[in-house]
Amino acid sequence: MAQSAAATAPYPVLYSFRRCPYAMRARLALVASGTVCVLREVVLATKPAALLQASPKGTVPVLVLPDGKVLEQSLDIMLWALRRKDVQHWLPTHPQEMNTVLQLIAACDGDFKHNLDRYKYPNRYALPDGAGHRDVGAQFLLMLNGRLSIQRHLMGEHFGLADAAIAPFVRQFAHTDPAWFANQPWQALQQWLQNFEASPLFATVMEKYAAWTEDQAVVLFPPL
């Protein structure tokens, strides 16, 4: 939804790319917390100067707060938004549960993401194929399936931070070879992913937006 620049002055600015799983999970938390921001959809092949000025690393997501502070990591954006307003109760209330959530996310962002990249893009890493990394990455998915076999979501019966942070990466893994993924004995994980992709929240964060340009009308996300 386009708004005047004056109307958007209090809002943070989010640099995002629709299909990036890191940006996806940041948008999930912003929507879940009811945090409105100015959305600037980025084409990674032609990164805008404003993004590089805000964050020289040149990757998304990047959130520029109204006070000028810059959050450059997706998990930091999620925690910032949810700690301000956690209307859907995504954050664990007990420190031990929070530690478990952060460990799950770290495992996703570490070894699993390493293997996911090489499974999905073997040519980038001079590999003949990604099958070996697929099989190693599958061990993480097997663990998630075990958790989901005894509860609806990764930390219990309620969708929360762990689910939102990890689901975009499981989705990317699943979509690399959908037939192979569908043939795995991971019924609980497959159902969890299907529920995520069918959710109104997912539909909101996957809305398509034109690439941002300096002269573009301001776009608020989520739309008011």
Which pLDDT score is estimated for 1? 46
Beta bridge partners, 221, equal 37
| Domains recognised in the chain with CATH numbers | 2-89+202-221 (3.40.30.10), 95-201 (1.20.1050.10)
- The overall average pLDDT reported for the chain is 95
Q: What are the start-end ranges of the E strands in 22-113?
A: 37-41, 62-64, 70-71
For 142, the token pair is: 């097997």
Task: Report d(CA 210, CA 61) in Å as an integer.
Answer: 16
CA distances from 192 to 30, 102, 110, 188 (A): 21, 20, 22, 6
CA-based Rg of the chain, rounded to a whole angstrom? 18
* Amino acid at site 98: M
- pLDDT score, position 9: 62
How many CB atoms are closer than 10 A to CB 201?
Answer: 16
Q: What are phi and psi of 215, to 5 degrees?
A: -95, 10
pTM for this one?
A: 0.95
- The pLDDT value given to residue 224: 83
In 10 A of CB 15, how many CB atoms? 29
pLDDT digits (tens, 9 = 90+) for 55-106: 999 999 999 999 999 999 999 999 999 999 999 999 999 999 999 999 999 9
Residue 81 φ then ψ, to 5°: -65, -45
Residues contacting residue 53 through CB under 8 Å, at least 6 positions apart:
none
Residues 6+ apart with CB under 8 A from 139: none
Residues of the chain with confidence (pLDDT) below 50: 1-6, 8
